[in-house]
Structure 1
């Protein structure tokens, strides 16, 4: 008999679980009325992580053990950069929230194939999860639905993508305009009174409060360091102060277990641009990409 998701989340390698697929875009119908299946590929408990592979097959009702037991791993078809690669995900403890996969149900267990075992190396190649794409659990639901729609409902799926991209582009343009307006009156003294990483208060998904405070202190101290240089600090001095900030954040990141990821990096780059602009040295922004390779 299928078991509940509570036991399924702790399943060992070889366990196969069914789940309800999710909408691959904001406009997609939900619920979809379809189900998929995944197999647990690795469960390194010392790292509190799990690696799974999505299996081929989409069903109009919850699949049975006989439906899924011999299914191979699904391959990507919809994204050019992932074309023909197998659909595999890794999750660390922070993202391991089984409730995000609807109707997650353990159907049974079997031996992993050699192909399936090989898919785990990229996630398990180091003791750290740094450098891997440890995605939120619910990605698996949208990915299997996206692959199904690419095969059976491609035109509508592409239209949804185009509309979503138009919305993102418009939002990005509006945000940049607001940012440019903010920069016009920004001063280093103002930055000293602000919390540059306010949205990190939600932890997870962002780093914990200790890291947030240390990063904020580093930003404020950098601003204070530049203020004492006078109203028109020279470019080399501002460059040195910003490079020192990057170095300090890099050390903090390493000590915290490498918690600076995409969104954190974007926030840090924003505040660095603000510091450069408020210092009268906005041209330094062009150099930032070369300074943050470690992130």
Structure 2
């Protein structure tokens, strides 16, 4: 079993593929492999290899495999290469992962790796779980497409139902939301651990900033003037602008969504929900 040692360019790992959804059979009985194309202090460049095996492949066999090309669903044949944030390097996230050893890197692979770790345009960045999605997804697309399509539709239907239920819960929450409830809650509660979420100091300061803004808005009374609400919300957004820069731009997709949600709730309780539409003109994250 591979430990989460620092990656080295040329290393090849094997892993047991896992189901793509809860509607797929629980065991695939298949193994795949990926190769490290490049490494620097920020990123690890990964290529998913094209072979699928019934047992873990040997280093020699895996090293002979070409890079996988993706054709499932909307994919159009691009290579299954991507970058992983160095802080998120965790081979043990994959099932039965094993370091096979070091293989050779072709000049093309070296060039691709250099572009990925250089944050090149046109490349995807994800966690190592993407290697499983690519390998298992392409095998299913080639050998079990009809069943995969059925499972995909079931997954979409489940996700849609969950979104609808979440939206209904959110509407009910807004209906009964007060400043007292907001101040009793802990904003950004899911921002742990760090990484991948922002540093603890950033999160603590963000919570204090939100609560301070809530107290200011509460002081405006039951019918707060729109201009004053705008001023407080804008100062809150501008705090996030400056704090994000100072912390090295730690606000990413999940953090952005959470901040938006908090600001929307604050605007709603202040009876000025239309101000949410102005956030994009204030924010820099």
TM-score (norm 2): 0.89
Q: C-alpha displacement at 1:163, in angstroms?
A: 0.9
**Aligned-partner Cα distance in 1 for 2:93–2:184:** 38
RMSD, aligned α-carbons: 2.5
Residue deviations 1:18-64, cap 9 Å, x none? 221122222222331111111111121x34x4221101111122222
| Aligned: 1:28 with 2:24 | yes
Which position in structure 1 is the counterpart of 2:47? Answer: 53
| Aligned: 1:160 with 2:154 | no
**Aligned-partner Cα distance in 2 for 1:85–1:54:** 12
**Aligned-partner Cα distance in 1 for 2:44–2:189:** 31
Where 1:76 maps in the other structure, the secondary structure is: coil
| Aligned: 1:62 with 2:53 | no
Q: C-alpha displacement at 1:266, in angstroms?
A: 1.3
Which position in structure 1 is the counterpart of 2:77? Answer: 84
Which position in structure 2 is the counterpart of 1:146? Answer: 137
Indicate if the aligned counterparts of 1:246 and 1:291 stay in contact, CA closer than 8 A. Answer: yes
Indicate if the aligned counterparts of 2:84 and 2:127 stay in contact, CA closer than 8 A. Answer: yes
Unaligned stretches of 5+ residues in structure 1: none
Which position in structure 2 is the counterpart of 1:5? Answer: 2
Change (3 A) 1:11 1:95: closer
TM-score (norm 1): 0.86
1:271-286 map, 5 Å: 271-286=262-277
Which position in structure 1 is the counterpart of 2:182? Answer: 191
**Aligned-partner Cα distance in 1 for 2:233–2:156:** 34
Moved more, 11-20 or 51-60: 11-20
**Aligned-partner Cα distance in 2 for 1:64–1:90:** 24
Unaligned stretches of 5+ residues in structure 2: none
Give runs of ≥4 in structure 1 deviating > 6 Å: none
Indicate if the aligned counterparts of 1:24 and 1:143 stay in contact, CA closer than 8 A. Answer: no
Number of matched residues?
284
